[in-house]
Amino acid sequence: MRKRPEKKPSFIDYNPVSALRLRYVYLDGSPRSYERQVHDPGDDGVFGSAPVCARKTLIHWPAQQHGTEGTPLAENNNGVAYRRDHNAELRWAVEEYISDKTAGLLEPVIEYSKSDSSAALRLNCGYIKLGGDWLELEAGKDENWLGLGYRGAVTLSNNAKNFTQVKLSSPEPFLVKYIGTMKYTLIASRFEKTVTNGEERQPWFYALKLSVKPTDNLEIGFNLCG
């Protein structure tokens, strides 16, 4: 939970500015929109996932595809989408520790866009963590990296805003006899309510990641989400 755990506090410690970032972005042009009708054989959806029985019985219907380019070349930005013209962003983090088993963080962000002369203050991250080493419990609003490396995908991506969650994980690898070094993450959350085509939805979300490294030159991973 700390960059230098050997410097753990005896009781309470805090850092009012543990991270600080000021960013200016100027965009010229409009992002591409992917709102369009697409061919949907057998009610597959945009990516195609209908069972074989459905493909045999359903007629080929058009389906509405949703999507936008977001902010080009500003990937993995916790849901901050810069608009046309001048944009500015200021975010900072405040950390607090109670002994070496409890940690908390608040990271507010101020966003400004000249396109509509708007400014907004929102909470980017805010959580509390208990434990450490091979077992840690986290509750609050935070980001997650369950994909391949820093970008979370093979191509550039604009990830969504951080969401409120409960997470059980191992911050540090731990050794299991006869198996090797392991790490795991288990996440549970419920997203905000949305209305699409008149239908209100508030889906549940879960994710599981397990990594096993039996030797220094071999690592096996397993991801599951839904």
Exposure string for 195-206, b = 16+ CB within 10 A, e = fewer = eeeeeeeeeeee
State mean pLDDT over 162-179.
93
**Residues for the chain: how many in total?**
226
Instruction: Pick the range with the lowest mean pLDDT from 8-17, 65-74, 117-126, 211-220.
Output: 65-74
Average the pLDDT over 89-104 and give the result: 91
> What distances in angstroms separate CA 73 from CA 32, 62, 124, 206, 208, one per listed residue?
13, 32, 20, 29, 29
- Segment 50-59 mean pLDDT: 45
Report how far apart, in Å, the C-alpha atoms of 215 and of each of 129, 180, 218 are: 30, 7, 5
**Res 110 pLDDT > 80:** yes
Phi/psi class of residue 140: alpha, beta or left (left: φ > 0; alpha: ψ in -120 to 50)? left
Task: Look at residue 40 in the predicted model and tell me its pLDDT.
Answer: 61
pLDDT at 8: 57
224 confidence band (pLDDT: 50, 70, 90): confident
Report which of residues 153 and 27 the model is more confident about. Answer: 27
List the chain domain ranges. 5-33+68-225
Three-class SS state of 6? helix
**What is the tens place of the pLDDT at every residue in 128-153?**
999 988 999 999 999 887 765 565 55
List alpha helices for the chain, DSSP H: 52-57
35-45: average pLDDT = 64
Q: How confident is the model at residue 83 (pLDDT cuts 50, 70, 90)?
A: confident
Name the more confident of 64 and 210: 210
pLDDT at 74 over 80: no
Query: What number of other Cβ atoms are within 10 A of residue 70's Cβ?
Result: 17
- Residue appearing with tokens 């434990």: 131
Model pLDDT, residue 158? 65
pLDDT of residue 1: 43
